[in-house]
């Protein structure tokens, strides 16, 4: 009886690519339109990777505005700005593409499970030239729920042709760690993203310092 293929599911923002520059630019564009100027800078990269609403809330609070309704008004505008300039500053982390090629050559299925909207994720992966390296893509709006609910992870595994008992999640946040725990799979958290210094405290199965190490790390999990 075959066990089924092994599968590695990746988060996108802050895990495979540093998308913070383009996200911050989109938020600052909204703030400038409101006459507030640029309210976020590079030191806010960690907040950028928590999503559009988190950026809007932080920036507006710095202008003395604590208004949930204004955040909701600006959110679709932010998404439009981001879609129009989604890959000006974004870069894949060093070694990511090589690691993906090694995994796939070894027979692993690979997929994406992200809290970024699916359409924007598709656009970004296409522009980065790596969409064909993933067998599945599940975004924030693909299903009625999102991470840390385990359902999007399981859906990403299924769409990749894998099975949940032979899968793991590579991420960069407490959300990814909780998703893996809820799904009952190992978590590999990257130490090189904006929140890298906080990942060790979560005690993942693996703390990844370089994508160069990923193929060996995954093999050692004995999925």
Is 11 in the active site?
Answer: yes
Per annotation, catalytic residue among 11, 135, 172, 176:
11
For residue 54, the SS3 value is helix
Give the list of residues 6+ apart from residue 93 with CB closer than 8 angstroms, or none.
Answer: 15, 16, 17, 18, 190, 192, 193, 211
DSSP conformation letters of 151-203: HHHHHHHHHTT--GGGEEEEESSHHHHHHHHHHT--EEEESSSTTHHHHGGG-
β-bridge pairing 91-92 and 17-18: antiparallel
- What values do phi and psi take at 89, rounded to 5? -115, -15
Closest residue by Cα to residue 112 from 131, 92, 126, 127: 131
Active site residues: 11
């Amino acid at each position: 009886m075959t066990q089924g293929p092994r599968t590695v599911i990746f988060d996108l923002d802050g895990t495979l690519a540093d998308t913070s520059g383009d996200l911050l630019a989109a938020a600052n564009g909204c703030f400038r339109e409101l006459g507030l100027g640029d309210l976020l800078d590079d030191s806010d990269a960690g907040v950028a990777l928590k999503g559009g609403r988190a950026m809007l809330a932080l920036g507006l609070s710095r202008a003395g505005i604590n208004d949930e309704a204004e955040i909701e008004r600006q959110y679709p505008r932010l998404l439009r700005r981001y879609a129009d300039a989604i890959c000006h500053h974004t870069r894949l982390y060093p070694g990511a593409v090589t690691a993906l090629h090694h995994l796939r050559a070894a027979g692993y299925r690979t997929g994406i499970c992200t809290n970024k909207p699916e359409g924007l994720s598709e656009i970004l992966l296409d522009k980065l030239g790596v969409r064909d390296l993933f067998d599945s893509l599940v975004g924030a709006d693909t299903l009625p729920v999102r991470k840390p609910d385990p359902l999007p992870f399981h859906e990403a595994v299924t769409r990749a042709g894998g099975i949940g008992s032979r899968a793991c999640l590579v991420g960069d946040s407490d959300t990814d760690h909780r998703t893996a725990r809820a799904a009952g799979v190992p978590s590999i958290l990257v130490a090189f993203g904006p929140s890298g210094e906080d990942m060790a405290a979560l005690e993942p199965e693996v703390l990844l310092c370089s994508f160069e190490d990923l193929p060996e790390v995954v093999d050692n999990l004995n999925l």
